[in-house]
Structure 1
């Protein structure tokens, strides 16, 4: 073997031995994290707006984190700045009702962009008017039926009274034959015609 080749091989081998080999256990240094702090859940408004929810947030009492759609609907129509400004101008006793009104108006405006809440009120008023008309017709029909019933009861009462008095009249005429002869040999069929027959008997 040539000594030059041996030297070259040794040198090459030595150069490979000097190069650092990657170690499977080596990893980049991990960043140092601070200890976890207590995180308070922000209200739905601050969460959607991606801002810090302060302790006295004016929106927190009315837009809890469990109802994000409530703020999304109101924010879509009125805007967050207008909602905050409007609530700040009201006393706290009226803010809950104001938020409910804003959410209702926003839902109505989304359903009907032209008329909004006014369209819903107009539709309800139309329904009330139709129901009042139906109620008036029902009351008129009820009065008509009551009148017909009263007339029917009066007719039945008159017929019963006539049927009860006619046998008494027939019995009286049978016991008084002179009335039979004065009536051309026949008994009167109606008690209403007995006035001129009984009149001579009373004189």
Structure 2
């Protein structure tokens, strides 16, 4: 068990051991015993946690489930039950599955948007290459393209680039400043 879970369980047990009943016993209006099965997981300061789980699963089912689990897994089981019960209250038909479906749809939409953005970037690279080719033809120069740049685009976009697709951006570096086309 993690230290934080041990501390929470110990503090909840200390509170249960005092005069206050656990949230489960208080809501069920029963006497909270010293070895209450629900006390460590439903402390008196969190009554909503038990109310939500009780509304969907029922107290007897919660107790049976906890008794069938090792003590190290009970806190996680209670948290899962409370989460599922909250989802069932919000969406009685689908519960957690509805939340999962909604998140998967968001992922798919974002993947489509990312693919469109990558296609736009590739289109802009092709436009730049075509523009540079035209500029070089206008100036009567046709320098050799840097192959490392050509290969890095193929690797980055995982595609084979069209014939004649080269970048001439190195022409605009400070050492290779071209004269302006307009005069």
Give the TM bin, normalised by the shorter chain. Answer: 0.5 to 0.7
- Separation of aligned partners in 1, 2:119 and 2:57: 49
Question: Is 2:83 the partner of 1:104?
Answer: yes
Question: Is 2:55 the partner of 1:83?
Answer: no
The offset of 1:161, in angstroms, is 4.6
- Separation of aligned partners in 2, 1:118 and 1:99: 18
* Bigger CA radius of gyration: 1
Q: TM-score scaled by structure 1?
A: 0.57
Q: Give the number of the structure with larger relative contact order, counting CA–CA contacts within 8 Å between residues 6 or more apart.
A: 2
User: Which residue in 2 is equivalent to 1:119?
Assistant: 98
What stretches of structure 2 of length at least 5 have no aligned partner?
1-16, 142-183
- Separation of aligned partners in 1, 2:135 and 2:36: 80
The offset of 1:108, in angstroms, is 1.1
User: Which residue in 2 is equivalent to 1:188?
Assistant: none
> Which of 16, 19, 40 is the matching residue for 1:61?
40
The offset of 1:82, in angstroms, is 0.4
What stretches of structure 1 of length at least 5 have no aligned partner?
1-37, 163-203
- Separation of aligned partners in 2, 1:87 and 1:39: 23
Matches within 5 A, 1:21-100: 40-100=19-79
- Separation of aligned partners in 2, 1:40 and 1:152: 82
- Separation of aligned partners in 2, 1:96 and 1:150: 60
Question: Is 2:121 the partner of 1:128?
Answer: no
Q: Deviations over 1:120-143 (max 9, x none)?
A: 211221111111111111111111
- Separation of aligned partners in 1, 2:132 and 2:35: 76
Residues paired across the two proteins, number: 125
Q: TM-score scaled by structure 2?
A: 0.63
